[in-house]
Amino acid sequence: MTTVSASPFTGLDAERFATHLAQRSYLPAWWIAAKQEAWNEFNSLPMPSRKDEHWRFANLKGLALEDFQVPEDHSSLVPRLPDFPQASEIIFSNCQVVGRTGLPQELADQGVIFASLDEALRDHSDLMRKHFQRHPVQLGGQKFIALNVAFAASGTFLYVPKGVKVDLPFVVQHTLSGDRQSIFPHTIVVLEDQAEASLVEFFVSGDTKSQLASGVNDLHAGQNAKLTYVGAQNWSDDTLSFQANSIHAERDAHIQCLNVHLGGRQARHESHSRLAGPGSHCDMLALTVAKEAQEFDQRTLQTHQAPHTTSNLLYKNALIDTAKTIFSGLIVVDPDAQQTDAYQTNRNLLLSDKAEANSLPGLEIQANDVRCSHGATSGRVPPEQEFYLQSRGIDPAKAHELIVFGFFEEVLSRLDNEQLHTVLSDLIQSKFKKS
Amino acid sequence: MKSLEIRDLTVALTESPDQPIVKGLSLTIKTGEVHAIMGPNGTGKSTLSKAIAGHPDYKVTSGDVLIDGVSVLEMEPDERARAGIFLAFQYPAEIPGVSIANFLRAAEQARLADGENVDAAAYYKRLYSKMDSLKIDRKFTSRSVNEGFSGGEKKRCEILQMAMLEPTFALMDETDSGLDIDALKIVAEGVNNLRGDNLGVMMITHYQRLLDYIVPDFVHVMYDGRIVKSGDKSLAIELEAKGYDWIKEEFATASA
Ligand SMILES: Nc1ncnc2c1ncn2[C@@H]1O[C@H](COP(=O)(O)OP(=O)(O)O)[C@@H](O)[C@H]1O
Ligand SMILES: [Mg+2]
């Protein structure tokens, strides 16, 4: 087993960490302590090894962190994403806030908070502390979550008080640029009982350099709350990316999560939903376009802790060239969670003979009155579809693009927000344009 | 006037190239003409039309297909389509998640030069007017291509595509099969509206019935990979009266 005890690399080393902490001495003591603890944890946890089931099929060599640096406090040109109607927006470049629209007064009056981490730590420290890493993801990436907490400087806190409903989405954009730069965005979303809101996060590179991103989300929906979370990443093709989603649903809460994965040399996404209260529901959706030598590694866990809970996971991957995807999912139904409906589906569309889609679906059911299913399919583009499109004058590349969009539509059409549907389609399309 | 010349064409399955299905077939279709091809099942009619359109399952082992004297055999299927060939499929494929509107728009876009874009407003106006005349509900624009369509809806959708893409040569493979008489009339009217000096049609059919509504200029009988008889509309009527058996008897011995 390869164990890396002390952190051998230069960029994210103890010295840099000490500097990072020192620069943040004005922040609450609990935050500083959490960072220190996370840094210790990061150093004590081994790098993933071959024997680790959570990392089966993954390219472990590609995980090396040695080359990356904590970003300088600088901002650079931020790629503009298409505008669409939104409640409020915060834009980060590396770890700096470089743009934001004010929170509409009526939302502020109702007690809605939409703030950068620093602002939230200054103004709402206790509230944040209550929800920060309350239900951490444990799907193998703890070391990278610890790294996130240790160096987290950018990120947002969205808080929607009881009964407040916000129609338009909140939008966050993280931009990473510069060679060997890294970011560690941390997002906390708290919807109190009966609240409704959606948050859309974009993660993009400002250039084509080699970069590191390790992001963490703590998503919490109170009783009967309705939360939509969309995270779309389009990192540079030379980025190493980790993302951990923690989803927590209380009684009758309804959560919809969609992750779109486009960029990165190697991108790992861990998502754990906990159906904690009776009657709660979670949709876990993901769309991935894997191209050239990209590797996308997705690990999921649906934990049903209460009766009458439902979860529905649908992860769709389109694979081109020599790309590789890994899907490993588990549904766990606790003994008390009777009358649970849990579904898990992974579909892989292979547009090339050389692409590799790995699927590891799983169930662990301890209750007897449940409906659970899991399924994984991988298939080539049906040749009759390809020929049909070509026979209308559409060239093979465009035909594949249309077929991929058709394949994704089942997921995209679940979004209520039409404009967001368009924005995501355009983002996905950009992947077919860059060659 | 343009011409589509099928010259002594032999077609086999790509996987078994030494077993020809179409066996040295020759036929020239000029714009302004409608040629009906009739023949029993399994004779190679669909193979002929798919081979002309460039389907990868089929291999042309000898002969040629030319538009105005230029061979299309080296062209990819999409290039042939842009060169003016349109295949109305006997069994159109379903494309899940791809709406008719997006699909046809991509097909129109493919015909434009680099940098040019489909004018969305004009496109929808044209699309809706063609749909109206084919009695296709406008809601179909957002339906996935052919998915869950009835047989008749699929065939009307093929004609809609043909109307939008304005090919020079249409190869219509059993566009009438599976249609009730009302649907047949709508489809026939759609085709008749497209008839004219700028379109040549190869209309494959198993039944004479279609030819009452789309009156052909020429009728060819295909049997065992060849055209064995050509004539005018009266040949179709003769076939209808006598069935295909006499053809089989007459030519099975000849080819054996
Ligand atoms: N893709 C295919 N695979 C196997 N056999 C085929 C294929 N296409 C055609 N054939 C065979 O070639 C012959 C002609 O078929 P087809 O062209 O469909 O005839 P038609 O359209 O006149 O009914 C039949 O014997 C059929 O089984
Ligand atoms: Mg046929």
Q: Which amino acid is at A227?
A: L
Give residue B1's Cα distance to chain centre.
Answer: 19
CA of B22 to the centre of ligand 1 (A): 10
Per residue in A370-402, pLDDT tens?
Answer: 999 999 999 999 999 999 999 999 999 999 999
Three-state secondary structure call for residue B237? helix
Q: Which two tokens stand for residue B203?
A: 């209309």
Distance from CA of B10 to the nearest CA of A (A): 21
pLDDT reported for residue B244? 83
Q: How many CB atoms lie within 10 A of CB B243?
A: 10
User: Would you state the pLDDT for residue B239?
Assistant: 85
A429 contacts in B (CB within 8 Å)? Answer: none
Residue B83 CB: number of other CB atoms within 10 A? 16
Residue B178 has a pLDDT of: 82
Eight-state DSSP code of residue A169: P
Ligand 1 atom at shortest distance from the alpha carbon of B44:
17
Q: Report the SS3 class of residue B193.
A: helix
A394 to chain B, minimum CA–CA distance in Å? 5
Residues from B contacting A (CB-CB < 8 Å) are 53-57, 76-78, 80-82, 86-87, 89, 92-98, 102-104, 106-107, 110-111, 144-145, 161, 165
Q: How confident is the model at residue A250, as a pLDDT? A: 98
**How remote is the C-alpha of B219 from its chain's centroid?**
15
H or E element at residue B164:
helix B151-165
Residue B98 · residue A403 · CB < 8 Å: yes
Q: Do B97 and A382 touch (CB under 8 A)?
A: no
Partners of residue B55 in chain A, C-beta under 8 Å? 387, 391
Mean pLDDT score, A161-187: 95
B81, A391: Cβ pair inside 8 Å? yes
Q: Using the beta-carbon criterion (under 8 Å), do A402 and B76 form an inter-chain contact?
A: no
- Which range, of A77-81, A224-228, B73-77, B100-104, averages the lowest pLDDT? A77-81
Give yes or no for residue A111 having a pLDDT over 60.
yes
Q: Which of A390, A392, A398 lies closest to B161 in CB terms?
A: A392
- Selected residue with higher pLDDT from A94 and B49: B49
Pair of tokens at residue A136: 């951490």
Q: Which tens digit of pLDDT belongs to each residue from A6-40? A: 444 457 889 989 999 999 999 999 999 999 999 99
Contacts of A153 (CB under 8 A, 6+ apart): A20, A24, A95, A117, A118, A184
Q: Which residues from chain B sit within 8 angstroms of residue A395, using beta carbons?
A: 76, 78, 110
With contacts defined as CB-CB under 8 Å, which chain B residues touch A433?
none
Report whether pLDDT(A157) > 80. Answer: yes
In which residue ranges of chain B is pLDDT below 50? 256
- Binning chain A into helix, strand and coil, the percentages to the nearest 5 are 25, 40, 40
- Spatial separation of the C-alpha atoms in residues A219 and A229, rounded to whole Å: 8
CA of B44 to the centre of ligand 1 (A): 6
| pLDDT confidence of residue A24 | 92
Q: Which residues of A touch B102 (CB under 8 A)?
A: 402, 405
Q: Are A194 and A224 in contact (CB under 8 A)?
A: yes
DSSP B47-61: HHHHHHHT-TTEEEE
Q: Which ligand is nearest to the CA of B40?
A: 1
Residues in chain A, overall count: 435
User: Do residue A393 and residue B103 have CB atoms under 8 angstroms apart?
Assistant: no
A191-220 confidence digits (pLDDT tens): 999 999 999 999 999 999 999 999 999 999
Under 8 Å between Cβ of B233 and B215: yes
Long-range Cβ contact pairs of A101-105 (< 8 A, separation 24 or more): none
Q: What is the Cα Rg of chain B in Å? A: 18
Residue of B nearest to A398 (CA): B106
| Per-range mean pLDDT, top range of A71-80, A166-175, B205-214 | A166-175
Tens of pLDDT, residue by residue over B42-74, are 999 999 999 999 999 999 999 999 999 999 999
Whole-number pLDDT of residue A9 = 44
Residues A405, B98: C-beta atoms closer than 8 Å: yes
Residue A98 has pLDDT above 80, yes or no: yes
- What is residue A6's DSSP assignment? S
> What are A67's two structure tokens?
């080359």
Whose CA is closest to atom 6 on ligand 1? B13
CA atoms within 13 A on the CB side of A259: 30
In this structure, are residues A150 and A42 in contact, taking their beta carbons and an 8 Å threshold? yes
d(Cα A120, Cα A97) in Å, to the nearest integer? 13
Nearest CA among A328, A329, A280, A330 for reference residue A305: A280
Contact (Cβ atoms closer than 8 angstroms) between residue A316 and residue A290: no
Closest listed ligand to the CA of B222:
1
Maximum distance among all alpha carbons in chain B? Answer: 59
Q: Is the ipTM of this complex over 0.85?
A: yes
Cα B17 to ligand 1 centre (Å): 13
Mean pLDDT, range A129-155, rounded to an integer: 96
Tell me the nearest-neighbour CA distance from A64 into chain B, angstroms. 39
Q: Which atom of ligand 1 is nearest to the CA of B39?
A: 22
Shortest Cα distance, chain B CAs vs residue A391, angstroms = 5
All domains of chain B in start order, with CATH: 3-255 (3.40.50.300)
Q: Which pLDDT score, from 0 to 100, does residue A73 have?
A: 58
Distances (CA, A) of A113 to A99, A106, A110, A197, A283: 17, 12, 9, 12, 25
